[in-house]
Amino acid sequence: MIGNLLILYQAPALGVQLLIDGILIGAVFALAAYGMALVWGVTNIINVAQGEFVMLGGFVAVFCAEHGLPLLLAVPIAAAVLYALGWALFRLVIVHLIGRDMFISVLATFGIAIVLQQVMARLFGAGDRIVDSGLASWFLFDGLVGIAQVKVLVFACCLVLGAGLTVFLQRSRAGQAIRAVAQEPRAAAVLGIETDKVYGLTFALNAAICGAAGALAAMAYPIHPYGGLSYTIRSFMIVVVAGLGNLAGVVWAAAGLGVAESFAGFVLGPQYQIAFVFGLLVVVLVLRNRMLRRQRQYLR
Amino acid sequence: MTASAPGTRTLNPARLTRIGAVLAIGVVTPLLFPAYQSQATELLLFIVFALAWDLVGGQMGYTSFGNVLFVGVGMYVAAIVQVGLYYDVGLYNEAKGGGTQFVFDTSQFLIGLGLGLIAAAVAAGLTAFLLGPLVLGIRGHYFAICTLGLGIAAGQLAAGIPWIGGGSGMLTPNPPASLGDVGLLLYYLALSLALACTATFAWLLSTRFGLVLNAIRDDEDKAEAMGLPTRRAKIAAWVIAAAFLGVAGALYGNQVRFIDPTETAFAGATIGVWMILMALLGGKGTLLGPIVGAILFQITKELFWTYLLGWQRVALGVLIIVVAVFFPEGIVGYARARSRRSEETP
């Protein structure tokens, strides 16, 4: 560990490499976190199956690649498949969770995650998968820093999707309805917005976002049927740090998490990277609690 | 308030008969049905898991998704003590245990097991005591996700430590042949633990301490405002639950004989969520509920494993969703609500 720190100190180019890699994967985290914040803000549900949606999107991309479809066509297909799944799950399960105890919704979506994990393992095998993009890498600093072109492509696509989503939420009638329900569901209902439909739309939209993010992620980063939970935790952490409805915060927090993870993976060793993510979550929540406590007022 | 009414619980004859009957069933079961002995041991440990989850999750309202942390700590610490008393743990795990090199004779095995169980309780309790002040201030869903993270982080850390076998896991000591059926011994240890756990919790919940826990669940700020020692009570409940989880984990490790860091020890997606399901299925926040839930769950799980092999996690996931969405009050809660309704409308 200290040896790795020394290497990092002696070869600053390596630091640049880790920084770039971290920022690039941060875009995928940001997209998933944005979806989680959307569902959380509108329906007040924390979707623990978020990461499984990402993984499933990735597997749809793997499936498409195996059947010879062009690389980027997998993204809209994954989004469409996940949109349908999200809508079905909403009708079957999520609709019953709205307005209920938070514990119930965490447990029920955890159940969904467990179901999806084994279904994916049965359909696609319980191993790491990746879509071969066939793209090369760019090299900087005399070949010391390598940037995989596919990671840049994924990054760019995530940004485009995120921007598109923002425009959708700001400009379209459906997006405005979603924001209205997030602000004040009763007032929105009085004004003639069908809140149940908006909840369904939001949840399905979130699934589609995750599906697209997963399809993109699968081109550059390995996916695994049981690997979803770390994406859920990352999304949750990003939303907690950024706050609900703070898009800029989500982007910054996601990039920060990506960079932190990338450095931690190098310094502590790749086997501790997931442990680092989950440990960081605990630290973030404990610190958040400390900060909240400082604001509490006592009567003496 | 769904909590069991506190107050004077005397040992009247009817109660004594019931306790005697449960004891008798517990003692003779493995002798009558030797084929189901390991399932029965597992069931008794599941009862402890469910009860311990419910003390904090049901009675106190702090729904933890990471109680596997204590199960895993107990499991590993017990195994390390069992081996470490006589051999070098690092070498033992390098050689993947067993063989002719690492032999435990009867007294070594029994002393190791006894000290291991004590160490498991202490280590798990200590973990809870150290973490308690940090995480028990976090509330609601933040607490749920935080504990989920804790359990998984612990598993990933354990998988990275070669001294305890790393990702390929650790074997518990081989019981000597001279000891005869170790399964039976483990069964009776599990039975004692389940009885001790039930009795301790029944007593705790009949005291003022139980009322404090319920008050925290119902409205923590009000409880604090009324001057109840909420902080101490929360940590105490967590430590007690953790100690029982640790011992149960230690026995579970010896029962399955192999500790995988993420699949048996810190198995958040299986045991970790099963204990919640058991408590919820039987009735959260009651003493009887987790026991009933564990029995039903163990039967269901065995059926799923037999008839739905390969899809058992799907079936269990669906069960979790169904129970959480449509039956969150559980069997005991449902029965109580019914009897209350029939009392009100004669």
Check if A244 contacts B (Cβ < 8 Å).
no
pLDDT digits (tens, 9 = 90+) for B133-179: 889 988 888 899 999 999 999 998 998 888 888 888 888 888 888 87
| Residue A146, H or E segment | strand A145-148
Per-residue tokens: B234: 């929360």
* Chain A residues touching residue B157 (CB < 8 angstroms): 272, 275, 279
End-to-end CA distance of chain B: 22
Residues 6+ apart with CB under 8 A from B48: B190, B193, B194, B197, B244, B245, B247, B248
Alpha helices in chain A (DSSP H): 2-10, 12-43, 50-66, 74-92, 102-124, 149-171, 173-183, 185-190, 195-220, 228-242, 247-268, 273-295
Check if A123 contacts B (Cβ < 8 Å).
no
Alpha carbon separation from A97 to A36, A46, A210 (Å, rounded)? 16, 11, 20
Identity of the residue numbered A50:
Q
How far apart (Å, rounded) are the C-alpha atoms in residues B55 and B205?
Answer: 9
- How much is the pLDDT for B6? 44
Of A199, A205, A210, A200, residue with least CA distance to A43 = A199
- How much is the pLDDT for A297? 56
Residues 6+ apart with CB under 8 A from A191: A180
How far apart (Å, rounded) are the C-alpha atoms in residues B135 and B147?
Answer: 8
Whether residue A132 lies inside any domain: the answer is yes
* Chain A residues touching residue B150 (CB < 8 angstroms): 278, 282
Check if A112 contacts B (Cβ < 8 Å).
yes
What are the residue boundaries of the structural domains of chain B, listed by start?
37-267
Q: Give the rounded distance of the alpha carbon of A296 from its chain centre.
A: 32
The distance of B45 to chain A (nearest Cα, Å) reads 22
- How much is the pLDDT for B31? 83
pLDDT digits (tens, 9 = 90+) for B110-140: 999 999 999 999 999 999 999 998 899 888 8
Check if A164 contacts B (Cβ < 8 Å).
no
pLDDT digits (tens, 9 = 90+) for A82-91: 999 999 999 9
Whether residue A88 lies inside any domain: the answer is yes
Inter-chain residue contact B145 with A233, CB threshold 8 Å: yes
Inter-chain residue contact B318 with A281, CB threshold 8 Å: no
Q: Which residue on chain A is closest to B270 by alpha carbon?
A: A114
Inter-chain residue contact A289 with B280, CB threshold 8 Å: no
Its ipTM equals: 0.88
Cβ–Cβ pairs < 8 A, chains A and B: 127
Identity of the residue numbered B338:
R
Whether residue A189 lies inside any domain: the answer is yes
pLDDT (average), residues B332-336:
87
By the 10 Å C-beta count (0-12 exposed, 13-18 middle, 19+ buried), A141 is classed as: exposed
How far apart (Å, rounded) are the C-alpha atoms in residues B31 and B108?
Answer: 26
Q: Give the rounded distance of the alpha carbon of B297 from its chain centre.
A: 14
Contact A105, A96 (CB under 8 A): no
Position B208 confidence tier, pLDDT thresholds 50, 70, 90: very high
- How much is the pLDDT for B345? 65
Identity of the residue numbered B77:
V
Residue for token pair 């990461």: A51
Whether residue A99 lies inside any domain: the answer is yes
pLDDT digits (tens, 9 = 90+) for A54-79: 999 999 999 998 888 888 888 999 99
Picking from B144, B321, B325, the nearest residue to A103 by CB comes out as B144
Position B237 confidence tier, pLDDT thresholds 50, 70, 90: very high
- How much is the pLDDT for A81? 95
Inter-chain residue contact A110 with B145, CB threshold 8 Å: no
pLDDT (average), residues A121-143:
79
Picking from A115, A240, A274, the nearest residue to B156 by CB comes out as A274
pLDDT digits (tens, 9 = 90+) for A196-227: 899 999 999 999 999 999 999 998 888 888 88
Of A192, A38, A228, A235, residue with least CA distance to A116 = A228
pLDDT of residue A259 exceeding 60, the answer is yes
Position A295 confidence tier, pLDDT thresholds 50, 70, 90: low
* Chain A residues touching residue B160 (CB < 8 angstroms): 269, 271-272, 275
Position B263 confidence tier, pLDDT thresholds 50, 70, 90: confident
Contact B49, B245 (CB under 8 A): yes
| Percent over 90 (pLDDT), chain A | 50
Over chain A, what is the mean pLDDT? Answer: 88
Check if A289 contacts B (Cβ < 8 Å).
yes
- Backbone CA torsion sign across B283, B289, B290, B292: negative
Residue for token pair 């639950």: B241
Residue of A278, A295, A298 to mutate for B, most B C-beta atoms under 10 A: A278
Lowest mean pLDDT among A1-5, A164-168, B144-148: A1-5
Contact B164, B93 (CB under 8 A): yes
Picking from A96, A114, A119, the nearest residue to B325 by CB comes out as A96
Residue for token pair 């993870």: A261
Q: How would DSSP label each residue in B158-227?
A: HHT-GGGTGGG-EEPPPPPGGG--HHHHHHHHHHHHHHHHHHHHHHHHHSHHHHHHHHHHH-HHHHHHTT
Picking from B156, B326, B328, the nearest residue to A275 by CB comes out as B156
Contact A211, A53 (CB under 8 A): yes
Q: How would DSSP label each residue in B216-283?
A: HHH-HHHHHHTT--HHHHHHHHHHHHHHHHHHHHHHHHHHH-EE-IIIIIT-TTTHHHHHHHHHHHH-
Whether residue A108 lies inside any domain: the answer is yes
Whether residue A300 lies inside any domain: the answer is no
How far apart (Å, rounded) are the C-alpha atoms in residues A105 and A111?
Answer: 10
- How much is the pLDDT for A55? 94
- How much is the pLDDT for B192? 94
Beta bridge partners of A139: A146
Position B270 confidence tier, pLDDT thresholds 50, 70, 90: confident
Contacting A with CB below 8 Å, chain B residues are 63, 65, 134-135, 137-138, 140-142, 144-146, 148-150, 152-153, 156-157, 159-160, 167, 268-269, 273, 276, 280, 310-314, 316-321, 324-326, 328
Position B1 confidence tier, pLDDT thresholds 50, 70, 90: very low
Inter-chain residue contact A281 with B137, CB threshold 8 Å: no
The distance of A3 to chain B (nearest Cα, Å) reads 18
Inter-chain residue contact B135 with A286, CB threshold 8 Å: yes
Contact B176, B100 (CB under 8 A): no
- How much is the pLDDT for B4? 44
How far apart (Å, rounded) are the C-alpha atoms in residues B177 and B58?
Answer: 43
pLDDT (average), residues A127-135:
80
Residues 6+ apart with CB under 8 A from B227: none
Check if A106 contacts B (Cβ < 8 Å).
yes
DSSP state of A148: E
Over chain B, what is the mean pLDDT? Answer: 88
Position B9 confidence tier, pLDDT thresholds 50, 70, 90: low
Residue for token pair 């063989």: B99
Q: Which residue on chain B is closest to A116 by alpha carbon?
A: B314
Inter-chain residue contact B150 with A93, CB threshold 8 Å: no
The structural domain count of chain A equals 1
Total H helices, total E strands in chain B = 14, 2
How far apart (Å, rounded) are the C-alpha atoms in residues B54 and B63?
Answer: 8
Position B307 confidence tier, pLDDT thresholds 50, 70, 90: confident
Identity of the residue numbered A49:
A
* Chain B residues touching residue A285 (CB < 8 angstroms): 135, 138, 142, 145-146, 149
Inter-chain residue contact A272 with B153, CB threshold 8 Å: no
- How much is the pLDDT for B98? 59
The distance of B245 to chain A (nearest Cα, Å) reads 21
Inter-chain residue contact B321 with A108, CB threshold 8 Å: yes
Is the model more confident about A17 or about B77?
Answer: B77
Contact B216, B223 (CB under 8 A): yes
Q: Give the rounded distance of the alpha carbon of B85 from its chain centre.
A: 26
Beta bridge partners of A147: A138
- How much is the pLDDT for A299? 47
Q: What is the CATH number of the domain that holds A44?
A: 1.10.3470
Please calculate the CA angle B158-B164-B167 and round it to the nearest 5 degrees: 55
pLDDT (average), residues B204-224:
92
Q: Which residue on chain A is closest to B139 by alpha carbon?
A: A289
pLDDT digits (tens, 9 = 90+) for B76-110: 999 999 998 888 888 888 877 656 678 888 888 89
Inter-chain residue contact A111 with B314, CB threshold 8 Å: no
B169: left (phi over 0), alpha (psi -120 to 50) or beta: left
Inter-chain residue contact B273 with A114, CB threshold 8 Å: yes
Contact B205, B198 (CB under 8 A): no
pLDDT (average), residues A127-138:
78
The distance of A141 to chain B (nearest Cα, Å) reads 34
- How much is the pLDDT for B2? 42
* Chain A residues touching residue B65 (CB < 8 angstroms): 106, 110
Check if A156 contacts B (Cβ < 8 Å).
no
The distance of A104 to chain B (nearest Cα, Å) reads 6
What is the pTM for the complete model shown? 0.90
Inter-chain residue contact B167 with A118, CB threshold 8 Å: no
By the 10 Å C-beta count (0-12 exposed, 13-18 middle, 19+ buried), A51 is classed as: buried
Inter-chain residue contact B160 with A285, CB threshold 8 Å: no
How far apart (Å, rounded) are the C-alpha atoms in residues B339 and B72?
Answer: 40
| Secondary structure in 3-state letters for A86-110 | HHHHHHHCHHHCCCCCHHHHHHHHH
Inter-chain residue contact A102 with B144, CB threshold 8 Å: yes
Q: Which residues of B231-250 are buried (b: 16+ CB within 10 A; e: fewer)?
A: eebbbbbbbbbbbbbbbbbb
Identity of the residue numbered B45:
L
Check if A101 contacts B (Cβ < 8 Å).
yes
| Percent over 70 (pLDDT), chain A | 97
Domain that includes residue A132, residue range: 2-295
pLDDT of residue B35 exceeding 80, the answer is yes
Is the model more confident about B307 or about B9?
Answer: B307
How far apart (Å, rounded) are the C-alpha atoms in residues A130 and A118?
Answer: 19
